[in-house]
């Protein structure tokens, strides 16, 4: 599998798990459900960068941001005071599992996007 294909798949999986986790946060009352469509606009921009701009620098920067958000999610939640209570509650397995999946995929997405940016920099004509 090509490096860029792996990056695209990792970014899309990260976005999938981010949306599942954010939905779980809203259902549990951790995050507030807002009537504005700001989050949907951000999601659309992240998907656009991943699917339409994967060979360009901006696409790699967007995928780097996806990786950063995914990798940060477990750090933010596991430091919270109620993490243990949520983990023990009904649906806690899904909550914790998505955190682990986000951490691993986010780290991979970060590494691949940095590598992609580095490769783009080396290929740039001088």
The answer to whether 112 and 10 have CB atoms below 8 angstroms apart is yes
pTM of the entire structure? 0.87
Task: Give the least confident one: 76-85, 86-95, 96-105, 108-117.
Answer: 76-85
Per-residue buried b or exposed e for 6-21, using 16+ beta carbons within 10 Å of the residue's own CB: ebbbbbbbbbebbebb
The pLDDT, as a whole number, for residue 34 is 77
Task: Please name the residue that has the structure tokens 């656009």.
Answer: 48
Are 112 and 12 within 8 A, CB to CB?
Answer: no
Please give the span between the terminal C-alpha atoms of the chain, in angstroms, as a whole number: 29
pLDDT in tens, 104-125: 999 999 999 999 999 998 887 6
pLDDT tens by residue, 36-65: 678 888 999 999 999 999 999 999 999 999
């Amino acid at each position: 599998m090509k490096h860029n294909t792996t990056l695209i798949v990792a970014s899309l999986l990260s976005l999938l798990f981010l949306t599942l986790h954010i939905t779980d946060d809203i259902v549990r009352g951790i995050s507030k459900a807002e009537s504005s469509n700001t989050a949907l606009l951000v999601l659309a921009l992240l998907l656009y960068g991943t699917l339409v701009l994967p060979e360009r620098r901006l696409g790699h920067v967007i995928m780097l941001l996806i990786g950063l958000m995914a990798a940060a999610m477990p750090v933010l939640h596991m430091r919270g005071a109620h993490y243990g209570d949520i983990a023990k509650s009904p649906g806690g397995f899904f909550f914790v599992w998505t955190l682990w999946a986000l951490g691993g995929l986010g780290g991979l997405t970060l590494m691949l996007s940095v590598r992609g940016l580095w490769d783009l920099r080396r290929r740039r004509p001088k």
